[in-house]
Amino acid sequence: MIAVLFPGQGAQTPGMLTPWLALPGVASHLRELSNATDTDLIAHGTSSDADTIRDTAIAQPLLVAAGLATAREALGDTIPGLVAGHSVGELGAAALAGVIDDAEAMRLVAVRGRAMAAAAAAAEPTSMAAVLGGVEEDVLDRLDQLGLTPANINGGGQIVAAGARAGIEALVADPPARTRVIALQVAGAFHTSYMQPAVAALAEATAFAEPRDPKLKLLTNADGTEVTTGHDALDRIVAQVANPVRWDLCQARMLELGVTAILEVAPGGVLTGLAKRSLKGVPAVALKTPDDLPAARELLEQHA
């Protein structure tokens, strides 16, 4: 069984769409997805600099558009066994699973990105940091002492902390034993209570959607379980904005379900990197440029 995975915010890089525009199928799909938002995603994916695409309102639609366009190109008529997305990647996964169409996913991610950016701007100064290594219990205790939230528990010894900037600075200055802490260049404390205003905005937007039940196995970030109805899928995507991402549980569930290979859509690399530590021995291909398509299609032939 092959799992198709959609990366989350932070995976974007300047010029990441440029090589893909040489493929007519991807280029036309990207134009359609860009038209579904109020943002010129092709321009941002080719000429915008790192600071510009770090903006939450730009980064999130850009990532989902890249993921959907490259997933459709790689898969063709092939049906994967499972789909999942990290954070904002859940919207791309929901579209691939048939819960919503691609245009609806883009409409919702545009609302999500703008709402999360606004919530971050309205709150006290907040930030995030990646904690690598250490004993998980010790890391969680330290975050609790500082009033921080484990916003992403990614498995493989990686936890992303989020909260007040002062707490993040204290974590960087005095990290838990045997850990390395890296401050992240983000606009706010995502997947925490600071994002509650964005939850309300996204909930209002999903009220106009007409979700369908998933056609593929679809995992939720909340606890790694399978989502069986369209309405539940959207409800969980809404709640996820202000709640932690449990990618560790998603990966554990993949093993339980018998996943034998992983395809990470563009801009791939982050989730396949995590899989090397948590799903050891499971072959993976990350789509970074069209040069990765032959390997992706070979993987699909062997495992789909």
Which are the catalytic amino acids?
Answer: 87, 191
242's tokens: 């202000």
Written as one string, the DSSP assignment of 196-220 is HHHHHHHHHHHTT------SSEEB-
Per-position b or e across 256-284, b if 16+ CB within 10 A of its CB: eeebbbbbbbbbbebbbebbeebbeebbb
CA–CA dist 174, 142 (Å, integer): 10
Q: For the stretch 120-135, what's the b/e string if a residue is b when 16 or more beta carbons lie within 10 angstroms of its beta carbon?
A: beebeebbbbbbbbbe
Q: How far is CA 48 from the centre of its chain?
A: 21
CA atoms of 97 and 114, how far apart (whole Å): 25
